[in-house]
Structure formats: structure tokens, C-alpha cells
Structure 1
Amino acid sequence: MRNEGGMRTRLGAAVCGVLAMILSACGAPAGGGSAAKGQGGAGGRSERALAGSVDGTRIPGVGDRLRARIPSDARQVVAVYGAGRDSADATVVLYTKSGSTWDTQRMGKAHNGVKGWTTDHHEDDKRSPVGVFTLTDAGGVLHDPGAHLPYDRSSSYQAPRGWPKSYWHDFDYVIAIDYNRRPGTPPDDPSRPQGQSKGGGIWLHLDHGSGTSACVSLPKPAMERLLRTLDPRQHPVVVMGDRADLAA
């Protein structure tokens, strides 16, 4: 069970079949192409001009369709700006609401599904789902770096050593994206409320320098910053997709 600090330590290995399913959904070597390395660290520079917007009351590059899906009580938004519908390259910016305006902080270059984005995600399509999703749970192989979200530390998140070495640390830190999962459970919970065919196990996790199976991967400094900043009292969400779908 989780302790008072919101961390549930599980040092035993998960059932192999369940773990393999989750890890393959999230970060297994995707094949079929790769993206340029994105090693930018957590910056802190102002991104007011992103997507050509100077209106601080709106999140830049996010149109009315997805903006309407952001809960009214959400005061932290992780925006993932995909470079294109068929691209694995992305940029991540954290927006924190202050009064009626959004303060901005660049998290750096990132990667999404190796085949790009989709508005109708299915298992193994190698595309990340476009949409707005809550962020409620975190975990990973490493000790809690000071997360406000409930943090589940377990060696069971360890990427299989049969994967290329560049992937071995993908799940040192993870934040579950609440797509087809039960919020309030560890990131590796195998439940799929919409059914297995709709995919799942989609996380924010450490970057290995190329596209993922469906997750969004960031440099380690950015993941640490997000873990130390995202606060359940601020009802954080992720808004993610290619720029055209985000702006619709």
C-alpha cells in the first residue's frame, strides 16, 4: 500500500506476461524508423511566442476543440507539440495557471510514437493518441525524486535486457497518461477499461533518442522537473498531438 508520502515501494518482480504487455505498449523498440536525437534539457525559458500566440490567457497552439476538453480545475498542463502527423519528433512545454494567465516553461525536445499521431489509437499501431488526458500516477525504477504525484518505485519497471542498451533506462521514471487506464493505480496496472484493442500503458518516460511505440519520451532532467512540479492539487493534464490536430 502507499505510504503517507504517496509512494508505494514494490521490490518484487511483476508477473512476466503482464509486464511484457505493458512495456511493449509503452516503450519497446518500435522498429520501422527513428527520429533525430532530442537531448534538450529542462529549460525554463519563456515560450509565449510558441505557435505564434501572444495571448497569455490561452495555451498557445491549442484550438477550441481540445481546449474545451481541459477540465476547468486544471492548473497545470503538459503540452506535447508533435512536429507532424507522421513524425516522431515533438516539443514539450509545461503551462501553469497563475490567475487568468498561463506561465510557461520549456521542458525540451521529446519523441512520440514512431509512426506519429492518431485520433483513433489501437494496440500496436505505433502512433500516440491525440487528446487531453489526466496525469495522476507516477513511478519507476529509481527512488522517488520528490514527486507530488503518488510514486510507485519498483524494479519491475526495468526494461528487458534483451532490448537495445539505449532503451535500458526508459522507465527509470514514468508518469502514466490516463488513456484507457484506471486513474489512481500504479502506472503498470494492466486494466484497460475500453478493451485491450484500444491499447494502453502509455506513459511519459525517459528518452532513448528516437520514436516510441506510443508513449512520449523526454530527457531525464525534464522528467525530474515534471515529477517535482506536477501536483495532484493542481489537477494536471497532458494535451498532446501533432500541431495540426492540436490547433483544430
Structure 2
Amino acid sequence: MWRSSRTRHPDRAVRRDGSRQRGGLRPAVAVTVACGGLLTAVTACGALTGTTGPGKVRGADGAAVSAPARPAPAPRPAAASRVPGIGDRMWDQVPAATSQVVAVYGDDADSPDSLVVLYERRGGSWERTADWPAHNGRLGWTTDHRMDDLRTPVGVFTLSDAGGSRDDPGSLLPYRQDAHAFAPPADADASHRHDFDYVVAVDYNRVEGTPPYDWTRPLGEDKGGGIWLHLDHGDGTSGCVTVPEAAMRTLLRTLDPLSRPVVVMGDREHLWR
């Protein structure tokens, strides 16, 4: 959770060779035996002349040799018709036009530990393309977030704006670089000095299209705000979700406004409802 200068950010404290012969060479024998649909031998260029059983042939010297093998297909990421672990109630809140989802799976309702997974919709299926260990609010999660409650709001929120104290690493989201606005307080310890090098604003109680540090709170200040994805400092937060620097760079370079990205976050029990 980030705050303006008038109220400190609490985080700051914290692919058989049956092909046509080419090149003018003519095969001495060309016989293919089909067995139950399985091709058991192919002779080509006089090299393979007899069968020895499925998967084997005899060479010119009578020795058994292996038949040419078809290469195994390249592995493909697991895909699903929807993001796993998300129940109907939460999934119904994901816009139909969305093709990128950042899922934050909290370990427990009262735990600061979580897992962030990036899913992208490809050809009608959702594929898991990256994941990272993460942290959320120190006291866990809430469906009724309040200022300073040290919990992260459960829900589905759009991701529309980014920024940070460091130069734009190639963000597809609008990026505001401002070393002053994203600076940690003077009394922050070493573990918090890079928290806001890169951030992505979670559109909870904020105005989309404004810088992450804009203080406007449509639901009122008591409902909190300044909920960001930002760099991890090793423990729980005041409401934000934190991931390693490499993760932030990946998210900034991947999340595309044209894909209508959203974050779906909460403890696993709430997410499944």
C-alpha cells in the first residue's frame, strides 16, 4: 500500500523415412509392412533390407538395426479453458475481453505468503507462462479492506498504470518514472530501499489512467488505496503484493493494455468460491 507524503506508506517500515528418394539414387528395395497400423520396416538406398519385428530392421550385413525414429514433439505448457483455482464467483468478474491474468494465490486467509502466476489466453486456452513466490499483507487478506488494516483486498482488479523510481524497462503499460514520488522514506532500512523501483498499480479504489501515486480515492480514504505490485522485500506488506525484481521486469514488459490485463487475488479458499 502506498501513500502520499502526508501519510507514510506502511510498507516502508517494513517435429519413417517413407519419403520420395531424392538426388538420383534409386533404392534397391522399397517395402513397407503395415502391422495393425504400425509401420514396421522401410528400406531405402539398399541399406535396410529386412524386418526383425516392430521397431527393428536388418541391414545389408544381416545385423539388426533400429528403424528411424520420429522425433518426440516439443513439450507444451499446460493449458486450460480457464485459469485454475478460480471459482465461478471470481471468474465471472473477469472481463470477456481479458487475455492476460495475474493470479495471486494466497497461502491462507491470515498468511503473508503467496504465489503469483501469469496466465495468457492463447487459442481459447489459458496457459501458465510464469510464476514467482510473493508476499501480500502481513495479516493476510480481506473482503473489506480498510486503511492500515495490514491486509490485501480480495478481488478482481484491472491493471492499467505503472511507474517507478528507475527508468522505464520497456513497459507496455503507461509508465511514469519519478525518483521523488517513488522514493522510500529517509528512515527506511536497507531491505525497503528498492521497493518502488518498479510498480504496477492495482485498480482498487483509484482512478484508472492516473499515475500510481495519485491520491484520488473514489470509495473514500477510509477504504484505503495505493495497492501495488512492487519489488519484494522478504516479508509481508501493508496491503501490496510483492515479487522479485525479475518478475516485475517481466510483468512490465508483458502486460499489454490491448490484452485488458487483470489481477485476480486472494487466499486460495476465497479464490475458489
Which residue is equivalent to 1:190?
A: 215
Which residue is equivalent to 2:196?
A: 171
Deviation at 1:46, TM superposition (A): 7.9
Counterpart code for 1:201: G
Q: TM-score, normalised by structure 1?
A: 0.81
Which residue is equivalent to 2:70?
A: none
Q: Helix, strand or coil for the counterpart of 1:142?
A: coil
Deviation at 1:148, TM superposition (A): 0.4
C-alpha distance in 2 between matches for 1:214 and 1:46 = 35
Higher strand share: 2
Counterpart code for 1:84: D
Which residue is equivalent to 2:232?
A: 207
The answer to whether 1:29 aligns with 2:53 is: no
Q: Whose radius of gyration is greater, 1 or 2?
A: 2
Which residue is equivalent to 1:152?
A: 176
Q: Helix, strand or coil for the counterpart of 2:129?
A: strand
Contact in 2 for aligned 1:46/1:104 (Cα 8 Å): no
Counterpart code for 2:196: F
Deviation at 1:29, TM superposition (A): 2.2
Deviation at 1:103, TM superposition (A): 1.3
C-alpha distance in 2 between matches for 1:22 and 1:217 = 18
Q: Helix, strand or coil for the counterpart of 2:251?
A: helix
Which residue is equivalent to 2:160?
A: 136
Contact in 2 for aligned 1:161/1:168 (Cα 8 Å): no
Alignment of 1:83-94 (within 5 A): 83-94=107-118
1:103 pairs with one of 127, 131, 135: 127
The answer to whether 1:68 aligns with 2:92 is: yes
Deviation at 1:21, TM superposition (A): 2.8
- Cα deviation per residue 1:157-187 (whole Å; 9 max; x = unaligned)? 0111201210010000000000000000000
Gaps of 5+ in 1: 1-16, 31-44, 49-54
Q: Helix, strand or coil for the counterpart of 1:135?
A: strand
- Cα deviation per residue 1:33-88 (whole Å; 9 max; x = unaligned)? xxxxxxxxxxxx9874xxxxxx7001010000000000111110000000000000
C-alpha distance in 1 between matches for 2:5 and 2:131 = 28
- Cα deviation per residue 1:10-30 (whole Å; 9 max; x = unaligned)? xxxxxxx83353633xx2325
C-alpha distance in 2 between matches for 1:60 and 1:218 = 20
Q: Helix, strand or coil for the counterpart of 1:87?
A: coil
Question: How many residues in Structure 1 have an aligned counterpart in Structure 2?
Answer: 210
CA RMSD of the aligned region, Å?
Answer: 1.6
Q: TM-score, normalised by structure 2?
A: 0.74
Query: Relative CO higher for 1 or 2, CA cutoff 8 Å, sep ≥ 6?
Result: 1
Which residue is equivalent to 2:138?
A: 114
1:221 pairs with one of 246, 250, 256: 246
C-alpha distance in 1 between matches for 2:114 and 2:233 = 14
- CA gap 1:22/1:228 in 2 versus in 1, 3 angstroms: farther
Q: Helix, strand or coil for the counterpart of 2:149?
A: coil
Which residue is equivalent to 2:5?
A: 19
Higher helix share: 1
- CA gap 1:76/1:22 in 2 versus in 1, 3 angstroms: farther
Counterpart code for 1:188: Y
Deviation at 1:228, TM superposition (A): 0.2
| Percent sequence identity over aligned pairs | 52
Point out the more displaced range, 97-106 or 117-126. 97-106
The runs of at least 4 consecutive aligned structure 1 residues that moved more than 6 Å come to none
Deviation at 1:212, TM superposition (A): 0.3
